[in-house]
């Protein structure tokens, strides 16, 4: 197992542009953060050659909104890769309020690696599979266990 094969975390602060008309974080913002967390994880772990040759597209998002977040909250996004096949990688993301560790939302996204030049599905290198191995990853969130 590669040492990087674990949950990856990034922090973000809720800003005025993240809010909807109800005064809490807009649901669409969480999807944006799902993509930001996945991109940050990819660029921090994948070798430069793979980053240059492989892009990722979303095939499916599932998200459960559990609690509200408000202006000034600091959010922790935790993400990890679940099961993976040649053309589909399952990724989980959790959003926690930093102050009290309340789980705000959780997402399951299916990503497809594509060739950066041809824009067609492509297999990732064995090194990338090893770096994103699921053997050290937290268990699948119960809400997504049977989907």
The CATH number given to whatever domain includes residue 72 is 3.10.129.10
Q: How many separate domains does the chain show? A: 1
User: Domain for residue 47, yes or no?
Assistant: yes
Q: Which domain holds residue 130?
A: 8-144
Q: Flag whether 2 is in a domain.
A: no
H or E element at residue 130: helix 126-131
Kindly report the CA angle at 31 between 45 and 28, in degrees rounded to 5? 155
The answer as to whether 1 is a domain residue is: no
Q: What tokens appear for 47 in the block? A: 């070798």
User: How confident is the model over 32-90, as pLDDT tens digits?
Assistant: 999 999 999 999 999 999 999 999 999 999 999 999 999 999 999 999 999 888 889 99
């Amino acid at each position: 197992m590669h040492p990087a094969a674990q949950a990856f975390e990034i922090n973000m602060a809720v800003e005025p542009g993240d809010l909807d008309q109800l005064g809490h974080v807009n649901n669409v913002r969480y999807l944006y953060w799902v993509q930001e967390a996945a991109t940050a994880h990819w660029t921090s772990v994948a070798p430069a050659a793979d980053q240059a040759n492989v892009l990722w597209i979303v095939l499916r998002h599932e998200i459960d909104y559990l609690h509200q977040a408000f202006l000034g909250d600091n959010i922790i996004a935790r993400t990890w890769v679940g099961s993976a096949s040649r053309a589909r990688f399952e990724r989980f993301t959790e959003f926690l309020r930093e102050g009290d560790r309340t789980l705000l939302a959780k997402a399951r996204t299916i990503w497809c690696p594509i060739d950066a030049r041809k824009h067609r599905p492509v297999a990732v290198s064995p090194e990338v599979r090893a770096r994103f191995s699921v053997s050290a990853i937290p268990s699948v969130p119960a809400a997504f266990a049977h989907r």
